[in-house]
A and B are shown apart, each in its own frame.
Chain A
């Protein structure tokens, strides 16, 4: 009886679904987090009688064959890169991207990671770093004499130095863009890495063609919608339950067959 293994694929699929949903809910207040969705596809089919096969010598054909599907498989879990809301923090080093693009971060191994989380800080030498202390690429150094930092929409970092009337340009932030941002590989800590599926990055200043603008004093919230997630969770749980009922019933059928008196 195939029903047992078919229902098992269904339970496994719903388990993955619940895992994806729970990760979304867990990251509800993670800055710059993009929600994922699990997508499923039907598994292969067994043709017990093919559609259109001849049912008689005179050329009659079977209008609908006998096909039994063998269950379900997870097709993909993919990130939905919808813009999150901007929440105002008034911290001058909190930067949000409004539109397309990622900040570039130099990882300790020298490779570049990409993030939408712009909650930056300064390290002991005045360099702009992420919460993990990794340098922003290209980096901006803020001298100790600077009393106020302004980042404008096009990513220019300006500093007010004590005793000077005009602001000094400290650096220029650069964003990276991908043709298929969904193809980026998430490595945790809000970092994403380039893959062949994402394509290679094109870099540019904020507000340049194809890039979003930088908003100072704000952070991008996660794009998780709690009501949707809970609804999905309920439907996943019900589906899981139904699949377990199928296993139960199939088991009972086999047990009835076993108990037949001889």
Chain B
């Protein structure tokens, strides 16, 4: 008898979670390299009686929208953006490789290229990239080769190649926070369609208008569900009142 209310309750639960996801997207609308998350709803069908079926709402999954974000020039020589598919590799404190699209890098006191959390950025050989103290200019080619001009010299010395790798199943990557991802998959080198852009960062791919309209939709659906539950409740109330009168 309360099936209607329970179905609506399942919808409300799912909508609350969808709201959390939208809130996270909006909170990260200025986070470099952030990928928005979408929610996938699904139905769970139950047959309490023969001939009767109830479709409950379940929030089946969240998925990462891996569409590229706009590339914004910053004028900082240590900012890198990946054009097309691919991830930078950084070495975590536990000696496991993490993947990131946030190319806002810095140098540490040993001259190693690190991300903002201080984790060293890896070269294609898996070692950190170290720049000599006397570096006066840093350049990076489209395919990730880092060259440094030493002591205002005329020639550029090659320092290493930043690893930019492709991961086939990006949905299976676990977000760790701090723009880092982990995966069990063995990455492959990127092809010619991807490249590295120096002096620019990839902006988050959150579209504020889409998120705002999603939020309105979520809110209205939630309101509707609440109203329906209220109506269902008063219908039951009425039924009880009327039925009890006839029996007396």
A residues sitting closer than 8 Å to B (CB atoms) are: 1-4, 6-7, 9-10, 13-14, 17, 37, 39-45, 47-52, 62-73, 75-76, 78, 80, 82, 99-100, 177, 179-180, 182-183, 196-199, 202, 209-210, 225, 235-236, 238-239, 242-243, 245-246, 249-250, 252-253, 256-257, 259-262
| A14 with B30, Cβ < 8 A, contacts A199-B109, A245-B212 known | yes
Q: What residues on A are CB-neighbors of B23 within 8 Å?
A: 2-4, 6-7, 10, 71, 246, 250
Verify A49–B175 contact, CB threshold 8 A: no
Structural contact, B175 and A45, CB atoms closer than 8 A:
yes
Known: A209-B151, A253-B222, A257-B226. A72 touches B28 (CB 8 A): yes
Beyond A69-B21, A210-B151, list 14 extra A-B contacts (CB 8 Å).
A1-B16, A37-B76, A41-B177, A42-B28, A45-B174, A50-B174, A67-B175, A99-B136, A179-B131, A210-B133, A210-B135, A210-B152, A246-B22, A250-B23
Helix, strand, loop or mixed for chain B's interface?
mixed
Known: A37-B74, A246-B215. A68 touches B31 (CB 8 A): no
Please report the C-alpha to C-alpha distance between residue A146 and residue B219 in the assembled complex, in whole angstroms. Answer: 78
B97: CB under 8 A from chain A? no
B237: nearest chain-A partner, CB-CB:
A261
Assess the A80–B74 pair: CB atoms within 8 A. yes
Q: How many A-B residue pairs have CB under 8 A?
A: 219
The count of chain B contact residues (Cβ–Cβ below 8 Å) is 71
Q: Are A250 and B19 in contact (CB under 8 A)?
A: yes
With beta carbons under 8 angstroms apart, the residue of B134, B222, B233 that contacts A210 is B134
B25 to chain A, nearest CB (A): 8
In the bound assembly, the distance between CA atoms of A243 and B31 in angstroms comes to 14
User: Known: A42-B179, A180-B107. Contact between A261 and B233, CB under 8 A?
Assistant: yes
Q: Determine if B24 and A6 form an interchain contact, defined as CB atoms under 8 angstroms apart.
A: yes
A to B CB contacts below 8 Å, 11 in the list = A17-B30, A63-B171, A66-B59, A75-B117, A82-B77, A179-B131, A180-B111, A198-B109, A199-B109, A246-B22, A252-B219
Taking CB atoms, residues of chain B closer than 8 Å to A235 are 30
Contact A202 B133 (CB under 8 A): yes
Cβ contacts B105-124/A at 8 Å (1 or 0 each): 01111110000110000000
Query: CB of B198 within 8 A of chain A?
Result: no
B233 touches A13 (CB 8 A): no
- In whole angstroms, what is the CA distance A179 to B150 when docked? 13
Q: Once the chains bind, are A260 and B29 in contact (CB under 8 Å)?
A: no
Distance to closest chain A CB from B117 (angstroms) = 7
Q: Are A67 and B109 in contact (CB under 8 A)?
A: no
Q: 6 smallest A-B Cβ distances: which pairs? A: A10-B27, A209-B151, A199-B109, A3-B23, A69-B24, A6-B23
Q: Is B34 an interface residue (CB 8 A)?
A: yes
Known contacts being A6-B27, A75-B178, A238-B208, is A52 close to B219, with CB within 8 Å?
A: no
What are the interface flags for B82-114 relative to A under an 8 Å C-beta threshold, 1 for contact and 0 otherwise? 000000000000000000001010111111000
Most buried by B among A41, A68, A236, A261: A41
Q: How far is the CA of A242 from the CA of B116 in the complex (A)?
A: 26
